């Protein structure tokens, strides 16, 4: 190495360092990037408002059009990814407690990325990070406006966390089929013939459960007309005990919440 090359290399390093600092400052100054974490009480008030818009704050609400489920109407294809990210288990059940934990973590990350609750609400509806409100549809503007109005009415502490419950479905629990599917003759076995088909959203009662060596939990269920068979627990969602068990109808499945068919990209 020549004696003159070292200063040149140092100069290059210095230039790169300056460029890096300038870029970092530029990113930090851009609204909606690397925002400070929100105040917990403020976030809980926002969650109270958003849940009111999405489901009427019903942990068992299910949109029969899109399959979006729970208090925050999380899409079925998002739940395993987010559950792994915030609960450490992609097979975690959508219990009320787990819904709150996942939604809390996701919304906190979204706020840090987007920088305001209005933009978080817009992303939740559309999956878009567009910050120019003039580009938002009138429907999206109305959705965001409703949430922000509800936020002003939220209780000071937002809401109380539901009790922590197990993700392991057991005998006596009520479930709902998360899609059209077939009952299985045994754990991992062949599907029933045609009569074993389940409707999307059909209410089921659990009569047994079993976990396989690979950690997959299977449940044996019975239908209102007496058919029995096995399903993967992850292909079902929790259901409130029917008001009239003989009818086995869960009134939460009314399709009243928004149609959440838009793809929700992960911000990071």
DSSP for 189-233 reads: -PBP-GGGEE-TT-EEEEEEEEE-TTS-EEEEEE-TTS-EEEEEG
Domain annotation covers residue 29: no
Query: Which pLDDT does position 183 carry in this prediction?
Result: 96
Whether 184 is in a domain gets the answer yes
pLDDT greater at residue 187 or residue 17? 187
Decide which of 98, 119, 153 is a domain's last residue.
153
For 56-93, write each residue's pLDDT tens digit.
999 999 988 888 999 999 999 999 999 999 999 999 99
* Predicted pLDDT of residue 144: 97
Tell me: pLDDT of 122 over 90: yes
How far is C-alpha 243 from the chain's CA centre? 27
Residue with tokens 């993967």: 232
Considering the chain, what percentage of its residues have pLDDT values greater than 70? 78
- How high is the pLDDT of residue 221? 96
pLDDT of 248 strictly over 80: no
Q: What is the mean pLDDT of the chain?
A: 82
CATH of the domain at 102: 1.10.530.10
Domain span at residue 179 reads 174-238
pLDDT confidence bin for 135, thresholds 50/70/90: very high
Q: What is the DSSP letter of 184?
A: B
**62 in helix, strand or coil?**
strand
Q: Indicate whether 146 and 181 sit together in one domain.
A: no
Q: Are residues 216 and 113 in the same domain?
A: no
Residue 61 in domain: yes
CATH of residue 223: 2.30.30
Domain total in the chain: 2
The predicted pLDDT at position 34 comes to 61
Q: Does 56 fall in a domain?
A: yes
Task: Tell me: do 115 and 201 sit in the same domain.
Answer: no
Q: Are residues 48 and 146 in the same domain?
A: yes
Together in a domain, 123 and 205: no
**73 and 147 both lie in a single domain:** yes
pLDDT at 25: 34
24 lies in some domain? no
Residues 71 and 131 in one domain: yes
pLDDT for the residue numbered 19 = 34
Q: Is 137 domain-assigned? A: yes
Query: What's the pLDDT at 14?
Result: 38
């Amino acid at each position: 190495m020549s004696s003159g090359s070292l200063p040149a290399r140092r100069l290059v390093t210095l230039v790169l360092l300056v460029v890096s600092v300038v870029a970092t400052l530029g990113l930090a100054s851009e609204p909606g990037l690397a925002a400070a974490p929100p105040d917990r009480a403020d976030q809980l008030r926002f969650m109270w408002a958003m849940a009111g818009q999405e489901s009427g704050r019903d942990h068992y609400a299910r949109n029969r059009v899109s399959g979006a489920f729970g208090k925050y109407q999380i899409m079925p294809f998002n739940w395993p990814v987010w559950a792994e990210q915030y609960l450490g288990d992609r097979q975690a059940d959508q219990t009320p407690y787990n819904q709150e934990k996942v939604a809390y973590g996701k919304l906190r990350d979204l706020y840090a990325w987007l920088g305001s609750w209005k933009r978080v609400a817009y992303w939740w509806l559309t999956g878009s990070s567009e910050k120019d409100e003039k580009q938002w549809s009138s429907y999206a503007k109305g959705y965001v406006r409703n949430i922000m109005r509800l936020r002003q009415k939220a209780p000071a502490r937002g809401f109380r966390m539901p009790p922590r419950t197990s993700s392991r479905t057991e005998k006596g629990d009520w479930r709902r089929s998360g899609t059209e599917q077939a009952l299985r003759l045994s754990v991992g076995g062949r599907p029933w013939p045609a009569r074993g088909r389940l409707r999307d959203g059909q209410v089921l009662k659990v009569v047994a459960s079993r976990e396989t060596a690979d950690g997959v939990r299977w449940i044996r269920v019975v239908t209102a007309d007496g058919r029995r068979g096995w399903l993967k627990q992850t292909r079902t969602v929790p259901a409130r005990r029917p008001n009239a068990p003989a009818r086995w109808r869960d009134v939460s499945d009314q399709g009243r919440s928004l149609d959440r068919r838009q793809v929700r990209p992960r911000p990071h």
